[in-house]
Amino acid sequence: MKSRILVVICAIVLCSGILWVAPAMADKAVVTIEAPANAAKGAEITVRLTVTHSSNTERHYVEWLKIWVNGQEVNKWGFSSSNLPEANPFTREIKVKASGDLEIKAEASCNVHGSKGPATVKIAVK
């Protein structure tokens, strides 16, 4: 009898541990960057960010999207339960002047699970 109770207790603890850890491994916001590999000096280029996330509901949504050019934050879009992104995936575009080589970095974060990490592209300016 005691061994059955012990087995049941162990099963409950194991299952609750799996359920507790599972959300941490769930959906994180992911950004991809579309930009040309090369640009002429002085040209204005379009950088397109695409954010993918499994859900955008009042409880689980992309909380923010940021973009940096050569280490400087140039734009941030904030979202909330009452101001959700319009779709999944969703996109944002910015224009950047190519005065020298560019490193574009972007990151988005889920309000529950965080970010998959930043995406980075480099643009050679000639």
Residue 84 placed within a domain: yes
Rounded to whole angstroms, the Cα distance separating 122 from 108 reads: 19
Q: For residue range 49-76, what is the model confidence (pLDDT) as tens digits? A: 999 998 888 889 999 999 999 999 999 9
- Judge whether residue 13 has pLDDT over 90: no
* CATH number for the domain harbouring residue 53: 2.60.40.730
Residue 17 maps to a domain: no
Domain for residue 16, yes or no?
Answer: no
The answer as to whether 75 is a domain residue is yes
Domain span at 108: 28-125
What's phi and psi for 10, nearest 5 deg?
-65, -40
CA 108/CA 79 separation, integer angstroms? 11
Residue 98 lies in a domain: yes
Instruction: Please tell me the distance from the alpha carbon of residue 121 to that of residue 69, in angstroms, as a whole number.
Output: 10
Q: Is 7 contained in some domain?
A: no
Domain annotation covers residue 19 = no
Total number of domains constituting the chain: 1
Measure the CA–CA gap between 58 and 1, rounded to whole angstroms: 47
Q: Does the pLDDT at position 18 exceed 50?
A: no
Q: What is the DSSP string of 1-51?
A: -HHHHHHHHHHHHHHHHHHHHGGGGS--BEEEEE--SEE-TT-EEEEEEEE
Residue 1 in any domain: the answer is no
Mind listing the pLDDT tens digit for each residue in 76-111?
999 999 999 988 899 999 999 999 999 999 999 999
